[in-house]
Amino acid sequence: MSTDEGIEAGAKGGCYAGIAFGFLAVLGLVVMAFQAHSNGATPLLIAFISTAPAFEAAIGFVAAYRFRYRKGLAIGSIALVLFLIEIVFKITHGAFKPGWTLAYVAIVAGFVNGLRAAWATRRAPSLNDAQLEGIFD
């Protein structure tokens, strides 16, 4: 990513991926809590079951916020790793449906582009004081 437009597009893709990951985690939280409640689980057990998806949703939404401002190299990496771990668990435990493959690929691509934009922003040269002096003359 060498242009400002490319960096902005990558950051926007990372933002959308974070939002999608967060909403998928919230959806999973609602489904798991409903199934646990309908099976007669105690409120304490439901709260315990809901902890991991709530944590994933928070990570996804924070990553989206950070990508929107062209930052988020660390939190975006954590979100991508969490999402890949979730996909691996779905594949190994039989919950992976082929219809979701396109959505998963789009989210991974969005995270990768967001990370590339954050890296390009970090590597971009910043203006120093000598360059800023002549702007308002």
Rounded to the nearest 10 degrees, how much is the dihedral formed by the CA atoms of 95, 112, 70, 130?
Answer: 160
Assess whether pLDDT exceeds 60 at residue 135: no
Token pair belonging to 29: 């939280």
Residue pair 64/22 in contact (Cβ under 8 Å)? The answer is yes
Residue pair 47/96 in contact (Cβ under 8 Å)? The answer is no
Token pair belonging to 22: 């967060």
CA-to-CA dists, residue 99 to 81, 83, 103, angstroms: 22, 17, 8
Residue pair 84/96 in contact (Cβ under 8 Å)? The answer is no
Residue pLDDT, tens place only, 28-79 = 888 888 888 888 888 888 788 788 888 999 999 999 998 888 888 899 899 9
Q: Return the ∠ at Cα 125 (arms to 120 and 126), rounded to 5°.
A: 115
Token pair belonging to 8: 């902005």
> What predicted TM-score, i.e. pTM, was given to this entire model?
0.79
Q: Tell me the C-alpha distance between 96 and 93, whole Å.
A: 8
